[in-house]
Structure 1
């Protein structure tokens, strides 16, 4: 049996000695590939939207490869900072540092090396601005979110989530060397998307976050307060997504409006169920949030690739 410490949290069983394949898998796991996928999905529409056409294959591959390495760097460094938290949470006990598959020092060196490679690679293959913004994103995620905000405030993911918005402006900058207003609008979509996405997950794993001492909003506030905030941020997200319509054609508008309405309906349903004291299913909204962001990103990219004339502002 595994020993039970005084706080009642089971101590993770150290992983057995592993061969090179297992060690390689552990380093890959440090980068959190599933999170990287979502970040790349939001980079692609910025690449297409910056030119309102399909970008050059070389530039697109360079941006996505550099972005993936940068995200892997930030995630690996986050694993170092959060090693003690991960060991206490059921959802994260399988991560390499929690299972002692990789030492903290090795993970730190790995994360820093990836970050240097990513920033240098993007600076040389795209634009210096894209490389610089990438460095800012990594540093912000590690020092502002992971080291400062996460353990100190229930608003941790609101402002810490700014790092997750950066791939959009990095992608736009990689193409143009500047940042156009549509990139800032999509930046806003992701900013407002982050709280409903994360708080829905935190509602499901509230006890885990509480045991780890992380003051996520569902840990420190009543459920009715949490779902009200989810609804407000969901409305802000959908409204912000509609601001992209003038920079797009009818294709984007035809997808963004009904997709937004479906998300709002799900958010309001969660709100109503909590207010009525019925069994709420926050993970439904969590999974829908991933689908929503994917759909919006893909549609904006397709709209830009087709290259129809933007609708423009009504005035």
Structure 2
């Protein structure tokens, strides 16, 4: 069975390990650029230059729980992992630049920062422009149901079997997942926002709300006391393809030595689920979000 990335949102995440970083002002891009691209020249020796200067510039956009500001400080998933990696590489400081998500890749290519620390979805279209790390997480789907799970649901196939009404966000991939699992069109109910899904569940307008497990767990935490529960995540299958929805760090394509060194340290973390959860568990990431060893960026980029 093949794998393929499929994400509704192209997310950005940021955080730090061993302390939180305050967002700094954007730095001026390098003056030396590659002809015709605007990208900084000399990416081949970027790893050594970053080691000498002791910091790496990271771009992030801001979305909980992946990367966001809390009280003026940068928190979330990606820079927590990335700081751990870069510290191991002898680069102890992250200098973050906040930008809109759509500006992350252009900003990277223009040299505003050295790495996109946003857990961006790995897609063939992006792979044509930039280089991704190996996956740093996957986003399995889950169901939020009324407390006690009265219909005995477990995944979208069980929703189809029970004739359950499934809530999905407007334009979300979960609608296609539900259809592939056999949920009837009339039983798929769209909502505009995550909170609307929880409210519809409590009001009895739907029997389950389908979204990534990460997002649903956070929604449950922000609605503490609501009579709902989040079931164990699962990996949807569409046309025989497992939809893992992976994300990773992003580099300019010329920064080969930096990316390879990054991957070496990253796989030490993803290969140790206990360490992985210890680092980013507080942001809702569990062993279910650890990328399978067989899930490789080269395959994801190939489509």
Same-fold call, TM cutoff 0.5:
no
Bigger relative contact order (CA 8 A; separation at least 6)? 2
The structure with the largest helix share of the pair is: 1
The structure with the largest strand share of the pair is: 2
